[in-house]
Amino acid sequence: MSNIKPIAMTLGEPGGIGPELALKAWLSRKDHVLPPFFILSPKTIMDQTIESLGLRVKTKVINEVSQTGKFFEDALPVFEIPGTAQDIEHGTASSKTASIVIDSITHAVNLTRSGTASAVVTNPIQKSALYQAGFKHPGHTEFLAELSGPGTIPVMMLANSQLRVVPMTIHIALSEVPKQLTREMIKQLVRITSKSLQRDFGLEKPRLAIAGLNPHAGEDGSMGDEEIRIMRPAIKALQNDGFDVVGPLPADTMFHAEARANYDVALCSYHDQALIPVKTLDFHGGVNVTLGLPFIRTSPDHGTALDIAGKGIARPDSLIAAIKMAAEMAHKRVAGNAASQGA
Ligand SMILES: NC(=O)c1ccc[n+]([C@@H]2O[C@H](COP(=O)([O-])OP(=O)(O)OC[C@H]3O[C@@H](n4cnc5c(N)ncnc54)[C@H](O)[C@@H]3O)[C@@H](O)[C@H]2O)c1
Ligand SMILES: N[C@H](C(=O)O)[C@H](O)COP(=O)(O)O
């Protein structure tokens, strides 16, 4: 395996389970053979979490990302960002810490885009707390796209060992979905998803399936006509361009085991159509990955879990899966770059 740069992990909502998960992931570094990672956080927040949960973890402030590997064996490396733990209450999200949460993300992106870190792994944010502080983006996905510059089209994909899904529309009201679904948008999402499955997931010819919007995929137009007006022409054009794409399929019958065997990724019309099956099949093994960015970003598939924060019972499985997926993607990119330079 190639060597990759350290992974940059963000703090997420300090009152949620993110800090606990980062510490638990570090504790499992040997069992899971995790690559070196560091967290962007005020050191006091991590130390307070260690103390309140009674975890046997040391932290070590690093001044340079390159020091991560040197200390990772013995301590969780912390790349300090300004802030203190004094406003934090486990189980309560607060807009007072919004600047820490956002700084952690922007620094992680900068370090990754400059090539100092290999990937960004984000801990969950409490969207409502950030909105109260004036954050204008629906979630990480859209914020990361803005940080990446004009023209970036972010594609949210959630994946576990049984299913990959892409919600074609993301954090919008259900009533807005039919307005946002267009032929051009479907074509762009298929192109980005297909390319990423080839480059980052090693699928030579990805098979994509598109879920209809309406019951029974519209039942030939009698229950909605988006399938006829928008989806079928987009799919036909994509097939003509050589993509292995089928649909629109009735969403209710495309997620059982035999149906899932027929495709590598399902592109769904809206958030919950995509995320309910993937989180139901394997909540703790799921990873949220953003395709279409100029850097690698993964995240656990769950949120801040305020109801269990501070209790010491949060499971780090999904964060661990996100670290592993980021590392695998980074290795594939290093190998791909080496191959193209040698060619
Ligand atoms: N990547 C992200 O930043 C991200 C992802 C999803 C949700 N969110 C945000 O998180 C907040 C809370 O969302 P929610 O309540 O819908 O979903 P949630 O995933 O936080 O919680 C749903 C349920 O699952 C449990 N749970 C979640 N993670 C767990 C873990 N690691 N171990 C054990 N149990 C776990 C919780 O205790 C809760 O009962 C919202 O603001 C939402 O927008 C953020
Ligand atoms: N839609 C995601 C989910 O429910 O898991 C989640 O809100 C994360 O979104 P961002 O990665 O954009 O924050």
Nearest CA to ligand 1 atom 5: 303
**pLDDT, position 2:** 63
CA distances (Å), origin 223, targets 182, 212, 305: 18, 11, 37
State if residue 304 touches ligand 1 by the CB under 6 angstroms criterion. Answer: yes
Please tell me the distance from the alpha carbon of residue 281 to that of residue 260, in angstroms, as a whole number: 12
Domains 1-151+295-343 and 162-281 share a fold: yes
At residue 1 the predicted structure's pLDDT band, cuts being 50, 70 and 90, is low
Best residue among 11, 276, 304, 307 to mutate for probing ligand 1, ranked by most atoms within 8 Å of CB? 304
The CATH fold assigned to 162-281 is: Isopropylmalate Dehydrogenase (3.40.718)
Return the exposure string of 57-80: e unless at least 16 CB atoms fall within 10 Å of the residue's CB, then b. Answer: bebbebeebebbeebbeeebbbbb
pLDDT digits (tens, 9 = 90+) for 86-135: 768 899 998 999 999 999 999 999 999 999 999 999 999 999 999 999 99
SS3 134: coil
At residue 82 the predicted structure's pLDDT band, cuts being 50, 70 and 90, is confident
Establish whether 140 is an annotated binding residue: yes
124 CA → ligand 1 middle, Å? 8
Best residue among 120, 143, 156 to mutate for probing ligand 2, ranked by most atoms within 8 Å of CB? 156
In DSSP notation, 163-194 reads -EEEESS-SS-GGGHHHH--HHHHHHHHHHHH
For the CA of 315, the closest atom of ligand 1 is 32
Q: Over 70: is that where the pLDDT of 225 sits?
A: yes
Q: Over 90: is that where the pLDDT of 65 sits?
A: yes
Please tell me the distance from the alpha carbon of residue 255 to that of residue 334, in angstroms, as a whole number: 34
**Average pLDDT, stretch 258-266?**
98
Higher pLDDT pick, 250 / 84: 250
Q: Over 80: is that where the pLDDT of 58 sits?
A: yes
State if residue 83 touches ligand 1 by the CB under 6 angstroms criterion. Answer: no
For the CA of 316, the closest atom of ligand 1 is 31
The share of the chain scoring above pLDDT 90, in percent, equals 92
For the CA of 300, the closest atom of ligand 1 is 1
**pLDDT, position 110:** 97
Best residue among 101, 171, 276 to mutate for probing ligand 2, ranked by most atoms within 8 Å of CB? 171
**What value does the mean pLDDT of the chain take?**
95
For the CA of 21, the closest atom of ligand 1 is 31
The share of the chain scoring above pLDDT 70, in percent, equals 99
The CATH fold assigned to 1-151+295-343 is: Isopropylmalate Dehydrogenase (3.40.718)
> Crossing angle of helices 183-201/317-342, nearest 10°?
80
Burial class (CB in 10 A: 0-12, 13-18, 19+), 250: middle
Whats the size of the chain, residue-wise? 343
State if residue 141 touches ligand 2 by the CB under 6 angstroms criterion. Answer: yes
For the CA of 299, the closest atom of ligand 2 is 11
State if residue 185 touches ligand 1 by the CB under 6 angstroms criterion. Answer: no
Encoded tokens for 98 = 């919004």
pLDDT digits (tens, 9 = 90+) for 170-220: 999 999 999 999 999 999 999 999 999 999 999 999 999 999 999 999 999
Domain boundaries, the chain: 1-151+295-343, 162-281
| Reported ipTM exceeds the 0.95 cut | yes
Q: Over 60: is that where the pLDDT of 343 sits?
A: no
**Average pLDDT, stretch 277-292?**
97
324 CA → ligand 1 middle, Å? 20
Nearest CA to ligand 1 atom 1: 124
State if residue 123 touches ligand 2 by the CB under 6 angstroms criterion. Answer: no
342 CA → ligand 1 middle, Å? 44
State if residue 288 touches ligand 1 by the CB under 6 angstroms criterion. Answer: yes
Query: Would you call the peptide bond into 138 cis, given omega within 30 degrees of 0 as the criterion?
Result: no
7 CA → ligand 1 middle, Å? 23
